[in-house]
Chain A
Amino acid sequence: MKSRILAVTAVSAVALATITGCSSGAAGSDGDTITFMFRGNDAEKAAYTAAIEQFEKDHDVDVKIIMTTADEYSTKLKAAITGKQIPDVFYIDPGSVQAYVKSGIVKDITDKVEESVDLDNIWEYGVDSYRFDGKLMGQGAIYAMPKDIGPFSFGYNKTMFDAAGIPLPDPEVPYTWAEFVDVAKKLTLDTNSDGTLDQWGTGLNVQWNLQPFVWSNGGDWLNEDRTKVTVDTPEFAEALQFFADMSNVEKVTPSTSDAQTLDTYQRWMQGQIGFFPVGPWDVPTYEKLDFEWDLIPYPVGATGETATWTGTLGIAVAETTKNADIATELAIYLSTDPTAQQSLVDAGVQVPNLKDMADEWVASATLPPANKQEFLDIANEYGRALPANTTYSAEWYDELFKNIQPVLDGEQSAEDYLAEVQPRMQQLLDKANADAGIG
């Protein structure tokens, strides 16, 4: 009988634990512990761990680090939010800011930032990417500090130019499209005379490289107030057609069926591609290439102005945090503390967030690329946000690329395709704007 009571008690205890186990054990903060959730590779993890240890010492807090792979991050964060286990400090991309603000997930940290940060010494683009005034991105309150900015630059294989006896491109004066194609043709060669090409002018991925061509030609994805999809303009069509023609007409890229990122990326690294994009995150890998390379501006279309995009990732503070002050300080520290920045720059994962530090970095660095200034010019002068970063959801933007293959294969004209896809994109943008309560 005694044992029976014991059994009943034990079982009910287990059952009780099962129920309460779900509601208790909340993440987030108690007293002086805060959680920081981010994603990245090993180098970033090491750099952040070191920086955070310093922060813990200086502020006498415990920072619990939750790290995921890049693929898992968004899903895990959203699951944590749905489960009301929001980390105190976490990465956010500009494309999510509107939804996170509208849903009351991230905190407005404007006051604290303006009080403790010299905003003149940080890339304006970085901070502006996380400003939102309830209608438009880029202005209003600050909802995150930039973790980094990623000016998406253009590189060329110096060694290949020398071998072909072509004068090196001027880092100040960009090629026109015609000049670019001309040089690319000279670089498209069968170097070992076996009858098949083994070196190409370029090989670009449409999803990441169409933007510089469209913008430089005077086209864009959206109108000013982001209510209308403008991909059906002649400027846009001309740029997309030029992009496709590089493969189909000029034949300066590996054949279409081979021209996907993975392959051209590997070909570039093996020294088989003349021009290829370079982001700051590529630099540690590209340092080890066995040919010389450098940065130049993207070739220019009708406007005569070069263009490209700048990526960024932000560090936001949860609205629900119990330690708002220290959490905000951590976000600001990771974004702007010189020592923390230095450890990240040394890890080779990013351009410094601080302008003075970046100038020093350009002047002093010995590793390639020689023209590091190009990264800073993009950051400072002409880098733009990716089109989907200023809207509530990226669905309308992704729609452009879903069925673009026939254009890239030369089976459909850019003009026809864009006329056909614009209404679908518009419909999705309208939906996103309606969800965001805009327009």
Chain B
Amino acid sequence: MSTTTIRRSRLHRREHLAAAAFIAVPVLGFLIFIAYPLLFAVYASFTKWNGLGEPVLNGLDNYVEMWNDPYFWQAMGNTVFMMIGIPIGLVISLLLALALNRKMRGTTFFRTVYYVPVISSLAAVAILWQWAYNGDFGLVNQVLAFFGIDGPNWLQNADTAKPAIVIMAVWKGLGFSMLLYLAALQSVPRHLYEAAAIDGAGAFSQFRHITIPMLRPVTFFLVVTSIIGGAQIFIEINIMTPTGGPEFSTASIVWYIWQKAFNYLQMGYATAMSVVLGLLVFVITAIQFQVNRRSQFSIE
């Protein structure tokens, strides 16, 4: 009896050791590449640091400065504004998915066409759209001119620059959400529709009471990831409006953070803004999960 216990414990110990070693790899990776930078960023946010020399602690100065910095609020406002593309994108991609879910010729072709922007490099796409938005020979204004509309110089006008970027971002993201919706649509059990049809439900009512609720997990996923992504919008801003747009109208919060960190030698202040942004995204995501959980209870 006693020998088996010892044996088992030795075996256990060896296995534990092996397990620990295997676990160590991702844990170390996490500590080095996620935990350490995260903690360091929080530390740096309480320092005065130009990104070159040594950080010097300065307490809450960066946070106070942020509170009083009109450009911080403007960049935040711009970022939030540009998120209006998210619901628009969701609706359009759902409609596209519904259209492409039908059995007809050419759906594969269209599915591919809508997915091309997703796999294209964002930088290349941004440069392309920059040309399209050119006030003189841009494609967008040429199309508008065909209908007798005199288009604005999109990216150089404080009123149109933000919408211009939203339109591009929606276009770029459509394929991805459409694909997920397509997959979800195809996994909706047919018998639900059949049962509803027998009960006399029309097409719209089926869509409203079966399709939409069945798509809820995908919608939830898309909303959460789009908001996180939207909060971090940067590349398209930096390429299409490298100075933050006319009258700072397209400067997103991440663009402003980058500008402060790398161009204006205020790494400490920039990390403070990153910390605030990170917290905001975390809180918003947590709320979304909370809301989602409640609404699922109500379905069941």
Contact = CB atoms under 8 A, between A and B. Distances in A.
Contacts of B266: 393
B21 A18 contact: no
A403 B28 CA distance: 48
B52 A401 contact: no
Given A11-B25, A12-B21, A405-B158, A394 B263 contact: yes
Contacts of B34: none
A14 B25 contact: yes
Contacts of A14: 25
Given A257-B157, A263-B136, A403-B247, A78 B52 contact: yes
B243 to A, nearest CB: 7
Contact of A257 (B17, B29, B48, B152): B152
Given A15-B25, A78-B51, A403-B247, A435 B156 contact: no
Contact of B134 (A263, A402, A405): A263
A78 B135 CA distance: 36
Given A258-B136, A402-B244, A99 B262 contact: no
A118 B48 CA distance: 41
A257 B155 CA distance: 10
Interface stretch (A36-44, A101-109, A188-196): A101-109
B265 A15 contact: no
A435 B263 CA distance: 14
Contact of B28 (A4, A15, A104): A15
A156 interface: no
Nearest to A102: B53
A392 B264 CA distance: 9
A104 B244 CA distance: 31
Contact of B52 (A4, A75, A105): A105
Nearest to B239: A71
A207 B53 CA distance: 30
A18 B263 contact: no
Interface in B262-276: 262-266
B264 A395 contact: yes
A435 B24 contact: no
Interface residues of B, number: 33
Interface in B7-26: 14, 17-18, 21-22, 24-25
B32 A22 contact: yes
Contact of A11 (B21, B32, B136, B158): B21
A100 interface: yes
Most buried by B among A81, A102, A260: A260
Nearest to B52: A103
Contacts of B50: 99, 102-103, 435
Contacts of A82: 51-52
Contacts of A103: 50, 52-53
Given A15-B21, A403-B247, A257 B262 contact: no
A74 B262 contact: yes
A365 interface: no
Contacts of B244: 402
Given A19-B32, A105-B52, A403 B248 contact: yes
B22 A405 contact: no
Nearest to B131: A262
B232 interface: no
Most buried by B among A15, A82, A262, A395: A15
Interface residues of A, number: 37
A405 B246 contact: yes
Contacts of A4: 14, 18
A12 B25 CA distance: 8
B142 interface: no
A8 interface: yes
Nearest to B238: A71
B136 A15 contact: no
Nearest to A260: B156
A7 interface: yes
Contacts of B262: 74-75, 78
Interface string A243-272: 000000000000001101011000000000
B153 interface: yes
A394 B21 contact: no
A280 B85 CA distance: 44
B32 A435 contact: no
Interface string B195-225: 0000000000000000000000000000000
Given A258-B135, A394-B263, A18 B29 contact: yes
A7 B18 contact: yes
B25 A257 contact: no
A82 B53 CA distance: 8
Interface string B69-99: 0000000000000000000000000000000
Interface string B34-69: 000000000000001011110000000000000000
B48 to A, nearest CB: 8
A398 B248 CA distance: 11
A19 B29 CA distance: 8
B121 to A, nearest CB: 15
A8 B153 contact: no
A246 B7 CA distance: 93
Interface in B142-196: 152-153, 156-158
Contacts of A15: 21, 24-25, 28
Most buried by A among B51, B152, B248: B51
Nearest to B27: A15
A11 B17 CA distance: 11
Interface string A1-33: 100100110011011001100100000000000
B21 A81 contact: no
A249 to B, nearest CB: 20
18 contacts: A1-B14, A4-B14, A7-B21, A11-B18, A12-B24, A15-B25, A18-B28, A75-B262, A99-B50, A99-B52, A103-B52, A105-B53, A263-B136, A392-B265, A393-B265, A402-B244, A403-B247, A405-B158
7 closest residue pairs by CB, A with B: A103-B53, A103-B52, A11-B21, A257-B153, A395-B264, A8-B21, A15-B24
Given A263-B134, A405-B246, A435-B48, 19 more contacts: A7-B18, A8-B21, A14-B25, A15-B21, A15-B24, A18-B25, A18-B32, A74-B263, A99-B52, A100-B52, A103-B50, A103-B52, A105-B53, A257-B153, A257-B156, A258-B136, A393-B263, A393-B265, A435-B265
